[in-house]
Structure 1
Amino acid sequence: MRRIKDKELINKYIKLHNIEDLFNDNIRSNLELLFFSKRELIFRDGGQVEYLMFFVEGKAKVYSSLKNGKLLLLDFYKELDTLGDLELITNDLASCNVEAIEPCVCLGIPLKTLKNIYHEDTKLLNFLCSSLGKKLKRSSRNSAINLMYPLESRLASYIISIGNSNSKVIRFDETLTIISELLGTSYRHLLRTLNNLCDKNILMKENDCYTILDYEKLEALAADIYK
């Protein structure tokens, strides 16, 4: 993580996302810009949380580490999602991993600054409550996708969720073993499913990446998209 205090750049992101009224003067003076590289862990399961963060650029995936060593996909975070809100309220350690899918930028407020004042700031508190509600709704929906849809649909949804709208090339940064864990399946089943999508001319494998040949079919196959 790289952190800077650049008032001009901070104000640029605040105006870009129309959140000028969200921060009072005391909080605004403590805002920092936090930069994360692709694949960097923003939160680590069981780690200390130092900031309340507001996503202003980029995308990250959220997954939990189970006691049996497996991983489980929970959610995706993007612009204006918040991180650290639950930990601020409960004073707990991070309960999941948050990993940058692409370079990410967050507005960060040190939790030690907020501990004794956030409950008096109605605008910020309402925003955090709304954000928590939206994440709970998304998490429930994503859990339903994990339980109720076949792997082909879950994989299509995952590819769309991690993809870049400006590119049809999908390059998996993780091993297929990790992806199979995130999607709750075996490596062999995942490989068969990827090959089936290639046989259907939806994907095409090229060296270490896949190209989307038919985005509409992939989207139709996904049905519900991880959000």
Structure 2
Amino acid sequence: MKTKYDQNQIQDYIATYQLDQIFSQASAIPIQLRTYERNEIVLKEGDELDGIYFQVEGRTKVSSSIETGKALLLRFCHPLSVFGDVELIQKVVIQSQVEATEPTTFLFINKRTVETELMLDRNFLYELLKYLSYKLQTCTTASRINLLASVEERFASYLLTTRLQNEFGKEILTPHVPEIASLIGTTPRHLNRVIQKFITMNVLNKEKKKISILDWDRLDEISNGLRYE
């Protein structure tokens, strides 16, 4: 991790993402730039949170694990994303691991400033509520589909959701079968069987690990109207 206090760059990011609407007095808040390289851990599950992170550049991977060592991929995040909101409100340790998948930059505000100043700011709390409610909505929807739908329905829903390019569709978009399998709650082996089934049905084609859709209408029928959104 590299840190710096480049006020010009910080103000550029604040203007780009209209963060001045979140902080009533942005110029008075000690904001730090933190940059992480590819594969570097930003937040480690189980650690104490040191502050709130606003992702302004790059791409991150968010996952959650259990004591056996198995990890569940939750989403990929792009600017503007916020980390630390759940932990700050609930006063708990870091709940999910965040890893940079490419060089990624954050605006960082230390925990003390957040608790003593920003938590008293109505604009900040309102924005925090928006991010929290979005995470709750998308996690609830994904959990419901993954628990109640067949793998065929889940995969069809995944393909249709990522095609729509809504916000959560962008966050779960990946070309890698093992990552897709984790996102929809199955194993790569089972997902490969479903892919082969869809190929025989002339629903999709796969060449050199690249999947192309041949029949979106049939895929919609298989999904039974389910979407990860």
> What range is the shorter-chain TM-score in?
0.7 to 0.9
The answer for the alignment partner of 1:63 in structure 2 is: 63
State the identity as a percent. Answer: 27
1: CA distance, partners of 2:150 / 2:213: 21
Extract unaligned runs of 5+ from structure 1.
Answer: none
Residue 181 to residue 211, structure 1, CA distance change in 2 (3 Å): closer
Secondary structure class of the residue paired with 1:20? helix
Extract unaligned runs of 5+ from structure 2.
Answer: 163-168
Residue 151 to residue 98, structure 1, CA distance change in 2 (3 Å): farther
Q: In structure 1, what residue type is equivalent to 2:145?
A: I
Offset of 1:217 from its aligned partner?
6.5
Correspondence list, 1:130-149, <5 A: 130-149=130-149
The answer as to whether partners of 1:70 and 1:181 remain within 8 angstroms in 2 is no
Residue 214 to residue 196, structure 1, CA distance change in 2 (3 Å): same
Aligned positions, number: 218
The answer as to whether partners of 2:42 and 2:98 remain within 8 angstroms in 1 is yes
TM-score normalized by structure 2?
A: 0.74
Render the CA deviation track for 1:150-205: whole Å, top value 9, x for unaligned. Answer: 2234345279346899xxxx643xx83x6545533234212212334455363423
Render the CA deviation track for 1:11-35: whole Å, top value 9, x for unaligned. Answer: 2222222222322446754112233
Residue 198 to residue 35, structure 1, CA distance change in 2 (3 Å): farther
The answer for the alignment partner of 2:204 in structure 1 is: 202
Secondary structure class of the residue paired with 1:115? helix
1: CA distance, partners of 2:215 / 2:51: 38
The answer as to whether partners of 2:20 and 2:26 remain within 8 angstroms in 1 is no
Correspondence list, 1:1-227, <5 A: 1-25=1-25, 29-155=29-155, 157=158, 160=162, 161=169, 171-172=175-176, 176=178, 180-199=181-200, 200=202, 202-206=204-208, 209-212=209-212, 214=214, 216=216, 220=220, 224-226=226-228
1: CA distance, partners of 2:76 / 2:183: 12
- Compare the two structures and name the one with the higher helix fraction: 2
2: CA distance, partners of 1:89 / 1:226: 26
2: CA distance, partners of 1:103 / 1:150: 36
Offset of 1:54 from its aligned partner?
1.7
Moved more, 130-139 or 59-68: 59-68
2: CA distance, partners of 1:38 / 1:62: 14
Render the CA deviation track for 1:82-107: whole Å, top value 9, x for unaligned. Answer: 11012223332111222345543322
Offset of 1:75 from its aligned partner?
4.3
Offset of 1:73 from its aligned partner?
3.8
1: CA distance, partners of 2:228 / 2:108: 25
Residue 11 to residue 69, structure 1, CA distance change in 2 (3 Å): same
Offset of 1:46 from its aligned partner?
0.8
2: CA distance, partners of 1:116 / 1:7: 22
2: CA distance, partners of 1:39 / 1:162: 20
